[in-house]
Amino acid sequence: GNSVTQMEGPVTLSEEAFLTINCTYTATGYPSLFWYVQYPGEGLQLLLKATKADDKGSNKGFEATYRKETTSFHLEKGSVQVSDSAVYFCALIGDSGGSNYKLTFGKGTLLTVNP
């Protein structure tokens, strides 16, 4: 079945530092890949996505590139802010309908950014 492995952390950075959170996946075919963010006390929000190989998803200064050759979708941001403190989840969804069409999540990475 499909699976997602992400750096578990926690990760603690100073403001304006560079962020990388690694994510690799196992899936058949061509899944769609996602990063979701969960701010304290809230539900999950889609941060960015990529639906085919070599696509780059980007939003709010975050980026991730769908690398099929390395089955990876690493999240990066050049300069983090205190407001980026949250839990980040890497996820995938299968490329066909039926029983393959379900979101599979990594375990999440807690990011804390200090001023």
Binding site for another protein (CB under 8 A): 32, 34, 36, 42-46, 49, 51, 89, 93, 95, 97-99, 101-108
For another protein, give the closer residue by CB, 76 or 95.
95
For another protein, give the closer residue by CB, 36 or 62.
36
Rounded Cα gap, residues 96 and 29, in angstroms: 9
Rounded Cα gap, residues 95 and 32, in angstroms: 7
For another protein, give the closer residue by CB, 43 or 115.
43
